[in-house]
Structure formats: C-alpha cells, structure tokens
Amino acid sequence: NAERILDILRRLDDADINIAVLSQTLVGAVVSKMKSHRDASVAAAAKALVKKWKKLAKEGGVGSGSGGPKKLRRESSSASASSNGVGVARRASEPSTSGAGDEAEWSHLPPLRRNISNKLRDIFLQSKAELTRGDGGLDPSAVTSLCVSRASEVENAVQAQLKGDVNNYKDKARSLVFNLKKNASVRDQVLLGRIGPEDLVKMRSEELATSEKAAARAKLVSDLQDSRRLDWETANEDKINKQCGIKGELLKASLFTCGRCKSIKTTSTQKQTRSADEPMTVFVLCLNCGNRWKFS
C-alpha cells in the first residue's frame, strides 16, 4: 500500500547509497516506476529521490559525504543476484556496440555455442531502449554489459542441462531465442534477474508465450471442451442464432411449413415406429393452427 511504499522510499532517502550501489542493484529503475503512482505523495517522494540520485551520479560522488569513485568501473566477473533479485552486470572493460568484445569473450566456445550467445545478446539488447529511457533510466553502458552477462548465463544453463545432446541443445536454444524475442515481459524479467537462467531453461513453451498467445490458447482449449459437451447446442443456442442472424419471428420458425395455414411456426419430434434399420418417423405440429402430420 501507499504508506508502506512511502516508508521504503524514506528509508532509501536516509540510506548511505553511492554510485556503485545504484548501478549494482538497479534500484533507480524500480523507484522511477513509482513516479507515476496514483498516490500523489508516493509519486512526489519517488521523483525527489530519483532527482537526488541523478544529481549524485552527475557529481560523481556518494551519499552522506563519504568518498567514492568518479566513474563506475566495470569488473571482470559475471553478474550475480542482489538482495532484491536484480542482477549485477560487471565486466573488465566497456562493451563494444559492434559486438567485437563479445566475440572475444566467447572465442573459446564452439561455433554453435558462440552463435547462440550472440543471438541471445542481441535479443536482450532489444530491452535497452526501454530500460534507459527517461530521467530514471539506467546507464546504457551498464545495460549493455548486463545483456552480455545474461546471454552467457542463459547459454551456459542450456548447455549444462543438455550437455552432449546437440540436437536437443539446438531445439531448446532456438525456442528460447524465439520466445524471448516475442515476449518482452519475460525477457525483461530475465535481464533484471527476476527469472534465473536455470529457471528459464526449465520453463515450458506455454509459460514462455506472450499473454495474448496464452489467452488465445486458453480460449481454444475452452472451446474444444465445450464442443464435447452433449448439451453444447442448447447451451450455445443464443450465440448460434446471433451469428446466423436469426432473430424475431425467425426464432420460432422450423424446417417444416404447415400445409394448411402455410405457417413456419412448427415443432417436430422423431420416433422409431418401424424396424431399427428403417428411417425414423417425423411427427410435426403446427403451433399456429394445430394441424398435425407425419412423414418418414
């Protein structure tokens, strides 16, 4: 609720937070989302906190007067999860936008694994524009480094699960590339560490599908189950009539026309009056004049 969020924002405002902490936890992205909160006090507190951190980043200093680095250094180790589940991108040098640095990092891998790593990196980079947008956006260099780290982690997870099975490795890798490209929500959650690489590899295609595709699949299953019901026609009579344009007096009409009054307001039943291999006899009643007749 709003009170709890305000309490958290006040604690963050009082905390001794430096540039390294901001970059490693990506807390700025989370707080930035609160700027559009429907509660005015929460939105105002979030805007003030983001403004404070932005000023801190420009000055290159740290909170509470403590000393700190002028520029965030990239460490060579891979990303690790922080306490709030958000990953930390760390590399020895700034990643090259051309991908040459990434090629060097993956040069020890076989061509197939290197190709998959490059594809995963490119897929994750599709989220860069959204994550770096606005005043509360993340540092573009940090996001690029994070994309490379996540690509390595996901590829390693696929390799670890399907080691020695080249065909299954290819199938799983292609499936992940396809679904991460289509599903921005899952892609962002993986990139920010909310879904771990090992958990991602274990997810079924249904879990990786977009919400629209999942809803369409659920509707298809529901329609299939409905079609197997013995009372499907009765339960869906109104829907069928609407789709066929049957309304008004036509709702009372039948396939049989009364020979006496020419009315189509008739009802009919079928009965087996002869041997089982003979056609059933149809009994018709005119609802307009009461005329009855039968035929087979």
Q: For residue 34, is it within any domain?
A: yes
* 161 and 265, same domain (yes or no): no
102: Cα separation from own chain's centroid? 28
Q: Is 64 left (phi over 0), alpha (psi -120 to 50) or beta?
A: left
Percent of the chain with pLDDT over 70: 76
Tens of pLDDT, residues 28-77: 777 887 888 888 888 888 888 888 888 877 776 443 334 444 333 333 33
Instruction: Using alpha carbons, select from 292, 272, 288 the residue that is nearest to residue 280.
Output: 272
Q: For residue 140, is it within any domain?
A: yes
Instruction: Using alpha carbons, select from 170, 145, 148 the residue that is nearest to residue 158.
Output: 170
Looking at residue 249, what is its pLDDT? 63
The Cβ of residue 232 has, within 10 Å, a number of other Cβ atoms equal to 13
Q: For residue 133, is it within any domain?
A: yes
Is the pLDDT reported for residue 87 higher than 70?
Answer: no
Q: Report the pLDDT averaged over residues 217-246.
A: 72
* 30 and 89, same domain (yes or no): no
Separation CA 233–CA 47 (nearest Å): 57
Is the pLDDT reported for residue 89 higher than 70?
Answer: no
Q: For residue 235, is it within any domain?
A: no
Is the pLDDT reported for residue 11 higher than 70?
Answer: yes
What are the φ/ψ torsions at residue 184 (nearest 5 degrees)? Answer: -65, -30
Is the pLDDT reported for residue 96 higher than 60?
Answer: no
* 21 and 34, same domain (yes or no): yes
Q: For residue 242, is it within any domain?
A: no
Tens of pLDDT, residues 107-164: 788 888 889 899 999 988 888 888 787 766 778 888 888 888 888 899 999 988 887 7
* 196 and 288, same domain (yes or no): no
Q: For residue 230, is it within any domain?
A: no
More confident residue, 231 or 130: 130
> How would residue 88 be classed by pLDDT, with cut points 50, 70 and 90?
very low
69: Cα separation from own chain's centroid? 38
Q: Where are the beta strands (DSSP E) in the chain?
A: 266-271, 281-286, 292-295
Looking at residue 292, what is its pLDDT? 92
CA distances to 5, 62, 90, 130 from 58, in Å: 26, 11, 21, 21
* 42 and 132, same domain (yes or no): no
Q: What CATH number should be reported for the domain holding residue 6?
A: 1.20.930.10
* 68 and 78, same domain (yes or no): no
* 43 and 84, same domain (yes or no): no
Tens of pLDDT, residues 172-182: 888 888 888 88
Q: Report the pLDDT averaged over residues 278-295.
A: 88
* 174 and 89, same domain (yes or no): yes
Q: For residue 27, is it within any domain?
A: yes
DSSP 36: G
* 64 and 123, same domain (yes or no): no
Q: For residue 63, is it within any domain?
A: yes
Torsion of Cα atoms, 199 then 20 then 97 then 76, to 10°: -70
To the question of pTM greater than 0.75 for the whole model, the response is: no
Q: What is the total count of domains within the chain?
A: 3
Looking at residue 10, what is its pLDDT? 84
3-state helix, strand, coil in the chain (%, to 5): 55, 5, 35
Contact status, residue 169 vs residue 162, Cβ threshold 8 Å: yes
* 82 and 120, same domain (yes or no): yes
Q: What CATH number should be reported for the domain holding residue 274?
A: 2.20.25.10
More confident residue, 243 or 112: 112
Is the pLDDT reported for residue 263 higher than 80?
Answer: yes
State the residue range of the domain holding 80.
74-210
* 206 and 147, same domain (yes or no): yes
What are the φ/ψ torsions at residue 101 (nearest 5 degrees)? Answer: -65, -35
Is the pLDDT reported for residue 81 higher than 60?
Answer: no
Least reliable range by pLDDT among 79-93, 143-157, 179-193, 252-266? 79-93
